[in-house]
């Protein structure tokens, strides 16, 4: 798709609207001027027709006829007129017209009609009047009906109308051009904060996550949501990138350490001739180191699979929570037995949640194993499933040595160990609680930890009500 200019589109759209408005205004101006000019023209026609009617006088003949008194000669020479009496006798007519017989007037109610005479367009009026002959005689005189037709060319009227419409049209086009230039300038100026925001976003890269929009962009109400969204997205991307970077670094460090330990074990065996028992012990150490590397890789793969979004959200699971806790307890029973510890499990066995059984059991196993690894011999690890109003909790408690307060915020970080030497001794990889957190987040729940030095640790997972399944 070819890029296009938003400014150009807005300017063209507004100009089109203004052009249509200008055309509408010009049309209205044409109608108004036509009405006004022809209304005045009709008044003029009517006045000149009545002046002709006033020029009809007594002919002073035996037949008591009427006649024009000669004042009609002062009328404009290009106008046409005809005065007739009731018998159709023409009392007077302009020299440039052969009479009303040449036209077929289509008169309106005011007696106005249009005609084309000698190739010219005329607008004319027909007026009927009565003149009294010998008004001083007995009976009030003799009435004589007279008809006056008077017309004038309309060319100059149309010239006036055309001039007025041209003025409106030219003024509209001039305003249209001025407004287009002003609008282009204002839009460019108004979109400058958006360009500044884009320039600030363009400076963000893998090596520089600093996003600093201008104060002008922050101060614009319409851009504030976009600025906030960009800051939120970039902050999330930065945190995710740093976590991934840290994960790769930690994983590389862990595997490098494990490989170095295995390599040193082999080198130690080859430094001098050893007995069969010493070789057997060295191979066992190498095997243990390889198993540790295998465990680290397996947990990394598990964590990556839990955090991936490949699994369809439409798939529904119905897993009995307490069954998973019991399965984890049975799985770790030998570990507890070797350390002389006891695992107690209790809770509501009717709770069913929408979480995959494999992940739920992995969560419970990691929590219980973590408690076993940090408990003292002869102590008890307690796993309880507790139903609340808006959530269901899995709580795992131990009576171990506890965790120092400053270390608690980091216990769910990947490869974090409060005591690395002790963790390796107990078989910890630093990924168990990170996997628990990833599973909990995937289920839209949350996990927290409370610990007190010398008193033990409690880890609680809260599943929201949205994960419940009514059975």
Find all residues with CB under 8 Å of 406, minimum gap 6, and list them.
none
Contact 305, 318 (CB under 8 A): no
DSSP H helical ranges for 272-418: 276-307, 321-331, 333-338, 357-373
Q: What whole-number distance in Å separates Cα of residue 25 and Cα of residue 167?
A: 12
What does the DSSP 8-state code read for residue 430? S
Q: State how far the Cα of 351 lies from the Cα of 357, in Å rounded to an integer.
A: 13
Rounded Cα distance between 61 and 89, Å, is 15
User: Is the separation of the CB atoms in 235 and 227 below 8 Å?
Assistant: no
Q: The pTM is what?
A: 0.51
Query: Is-contact 385 322, C-beta < 8 A?
Result: yes
- From first to last of the 471 residues of the chain, give the pLDDT tens digit: 667 777 788 888 888 998 899 899 889 999 999 999 999 999 999 999 999 999 998 888 888 888 988 888 888 988 999 999 988 889 999 988 888 766 655 667 678 888 888 888 999 999 999 988 887 777 778 889 999 999 999 999 999 999 999 998 899 889 989 988 998 898 888 888 888 888 888 888 877 888 888 887 788 888 888 888 888 988 888 888 887 777 787 778 778 877 887 888 788 888 888 888 888 888 888 888 888 888 888 888 887 777 765 555 556 677 888 899 999 999 888 888 888 899 999 988 888 888 888 888 889 999 998 898 888 888 899 999 988 877 888 999 998 888 888 888 888 887 776 655 545 555 566 788 888 998 898 888 899 999 988 888 999 999 886 555 544
Would you list the DSSP string of 302-326?
HHHHHH---S-TT----EEHHHHHH
Q: What span, in angstroms and rounded, lies between the C-alpha atoms of 97 and 152?
A: 12
- For the record, the structure tokens of 350 come out as 């009717």
């Amino acid at each position: 798709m070819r890029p296009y200019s938003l400014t150009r589109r807005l300017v063209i759209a507004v100009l089109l609207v203004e052009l249509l408005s200008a055309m509408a205004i010009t049309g209205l101006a044409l109608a108004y001027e036509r009405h006004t000019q022809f209304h005045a023209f009709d008044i003029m026609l009517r006045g000149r027709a009545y002046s002709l009617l006033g020029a009809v006088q007594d002919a002073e003949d035996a037949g008591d006829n009427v006649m024009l008194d000669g004042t009609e000669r002062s009328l404009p020479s290009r106008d046409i007129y005809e005065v007739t009496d009731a018998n159709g006798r023409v009392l007077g007519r302009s020299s440039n017209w052969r009479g009303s017989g040449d036209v077929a007037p289509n008169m309106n109610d005011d007696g106005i009609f249009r005609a084309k005479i000698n190739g010219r367009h005329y607008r004319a009026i027909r007026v009927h009047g009565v003149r009294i002959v010998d008004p001083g005689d007995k009976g009030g005189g003799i009435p004589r009906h007279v008809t006056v037709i008077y017309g004038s060319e309309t060319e100059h009227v149309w010239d006036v109308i055309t001039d007025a419409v041209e003025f409106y049209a030219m003024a509209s086009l001039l305003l249209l051009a001025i407004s287009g230039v002003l609008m282009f300038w204002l839009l460019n100026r108004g979109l400058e904060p958006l360009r500044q925001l884009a320039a600030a976003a363009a400076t963000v890269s893998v090596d520089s996550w600093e996003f600093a929009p201008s104060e002008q962009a922050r101060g614009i109400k319409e851009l504030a949501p976009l600025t906030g969204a960009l800051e939120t997205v970039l902050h999330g991307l930065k945190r995710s990138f740093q976590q991934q970077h840290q994960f790769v670094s930690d994983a590389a460090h862990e595997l490098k350490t494990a490989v170095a330990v295995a390599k040193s074990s082999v080198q130690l065996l080859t430094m001098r001739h050893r007995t069969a028992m010493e070789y057997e012990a060295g191979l066992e150490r190498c095997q243990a180191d390889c198993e540790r590397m295998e465990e680290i890789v397996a947990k990394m793969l598990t964590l990556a699979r839990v955090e991936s979004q490949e699994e369809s959200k439409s798939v529904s699971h119905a897993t009995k929570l307490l069954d998973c806790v019991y399965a984890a307890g049975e799985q770790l029973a030998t570990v507890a037995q070797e350390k002389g510890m006891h695992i107690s499990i209790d809770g509501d066995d009717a709770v069913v949640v929408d979480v995959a059984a494999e992940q739920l059991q992995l969560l419970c196993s990691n929590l219980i194993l973590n408690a076993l690894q940090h408990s003292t011999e002869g102590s008890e690890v307690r796993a309880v499933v507790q139903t609340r109003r808006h959530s269901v909790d899995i709580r795992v408690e131990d009576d171990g040595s506890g965790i120092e307060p400053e270390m608690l915020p980091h216990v769910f970080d990947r490869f974090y160990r409060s005591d690395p030497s002790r963790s390796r001794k107990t078989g910890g990889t630093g990924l168990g609680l990170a996997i628990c957190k990833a599973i909990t987040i995937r289920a839209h729940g949350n996990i927290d930890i409370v610990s007190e030095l010398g008193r033990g640790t409690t880890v609680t997972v809260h599943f929201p009500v949205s994960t419940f399944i009514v059975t």
